[in-house]
């Protein structure tokens, strides 16, 4: 527990303490929010050595998910890819032919101002994105995220004191809400699966969609990642 609190503290330090929501969107109702569901695949789970393998995202609003906005890229990489390519079904050759990670960074940060990002377990993805920005020497704008995993945990905590292992995975969360099983381990597939989950979660949270982002903060599912206040 101590290490976890420690890590959480480090992350907060890394991003800056308790960032508030940008005023412009704090009072935006969920039904009016533009969403961007994002998922990255990494070569391993250790932020120190992990590399971006692929990225996928897709846009939507409460009126629907726009499949035309689907984006999927493999990231060109060098060196040791650990075990992950096997899990992700990618071969070294696929990866060698992918996009440069800089291109990915440039494209995705264009959505920082226009969309609230939706991720299932935002922490690792955002730490990786931050590190990438440092490595590329490019600034990372403020990003507002909804974490569907945190929201699921918030909802689970209401009914049980001990959360069973695996209860908050994307698959388990979708199953609880009667959504179709989705293929795991493809960044775009997971992004769509996450966005569908978020639409279903919103319905349970507030069927009318009047809740604002500021109000949603109470669930712990809203996260703001920004440069540390210098």
| The one among 134, 183, 218, 220 contacting another protein by CB under 8 A | 183
How distant, in Å, are the alpha carbons of 46, 114, 142, 152, 168 from that of 156? 27, 31, 29, 6, 9
| The one among 203, 218, 220, 228 contacting another protein by CB under 8 A | 203
User: Is position 118 an interface residue for another protein (rule: CB under 8 A)?
Assistant: no
How far, in Å, CA of 18 to CA of 174, rounded? 30
Tell me the backbone φ, ψ of residue 35, rounded to 5 degrees. Answer: -110, 150
Is residue 14 classed as helix, strand or coil in its secondary structure? helix
User: Is position 70 an interface residue for another protein (rule: CB under 8 A)?
Assistant: yes
User: Is position 146 an interface residue for another protein (rule: CB under 8 A)?
Assistant: no
Tell me the backbone φ, ψ of residue 87, rounded to 5 degrees. Answer: -65, -45
| The one among 36, 126, 140, 192 contacting another protein by CB under 8 A | 192
Q: What single-letter DSSP state applies at residue 162?
A: S
- Pick the stretch among 40-48, 102-110, 158-166, 193-201 that binds another protein (CB under 8 A): 193-201
How far, in Å, CA of 52 to CA of 64, rounded? 29
Q: Report the residue number, 43 or 194, with the smaller CB distance to another protein.
A: 194
How distant, in Å, are the alpha carbons of 1, 27, 81, 106, 108 from that of 69? 40, 26, 29, 17, 13
Q: Report the residue number, 51 or 174, with the smaller CB distance to another protein.
A: 174
Is residue 82 classed as helix, strand or coil in its secondary structure? coil
> 207-226 mask for another protein (x: CB under 8 A)?
xxx-----------------
| The one among 32, 46, 66, 106 contacting another protein by CB under 8 A | 66
Q: Which residues are at the interface with another protein (CB under 8 A)?
A: 31, 56, 58, 60, 62-72, 178-180, 182-183, 186, 188-189, 191-193, 196, 199-200, 203, 207-209
């Amino acid at each position: 527990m101590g290490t976890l609190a420690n890590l959480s503290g480090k992350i907060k330090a890394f991003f800056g303490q308790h960032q508030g929501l940008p005023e412009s969107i704090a009072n935006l109702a969920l039904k009016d929010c533009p969403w961007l569901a994002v998922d990255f695949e990494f070569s391993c789970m250790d932020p120190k050595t992990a590399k971006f393998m692929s990225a996928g995202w897709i846009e939507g609003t409460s009126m629907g998910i726009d499949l035309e906005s689907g984006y999927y890229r493999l990231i060109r990489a060098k060196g040791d890819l650990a075990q992950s390519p096997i899990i992700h079904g990618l071969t070294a050759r696929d990866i060698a032919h992918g996009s440069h990670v800089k291109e990915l960074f440039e494209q995705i940060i264009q959505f920082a101002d226009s969309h609230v990002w939706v991720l299932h377990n935002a922490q690792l993805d955002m730490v990786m994105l931050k590190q990438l920005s440092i490595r590329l020497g490019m600034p990372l704008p403020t990003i507002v995220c909804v974490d569907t995993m945190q929201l699921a945990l918030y909802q689970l905590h209401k009914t049980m004191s001990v959360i069973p292992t695996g209860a908050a995975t994307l698959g388990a969360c979708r199953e609880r809400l009667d959504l179709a099983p989705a293929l795991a381990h493809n960044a775009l597939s997971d992004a769509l699966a996450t966005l569908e989950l978020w639409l279903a979660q919103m319905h349970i949270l507030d069927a009318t969609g009047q809740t604002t982002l500021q109000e949603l903060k109470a669930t712990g599912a809203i996260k703001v990642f920004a440069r540390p206040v210098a």
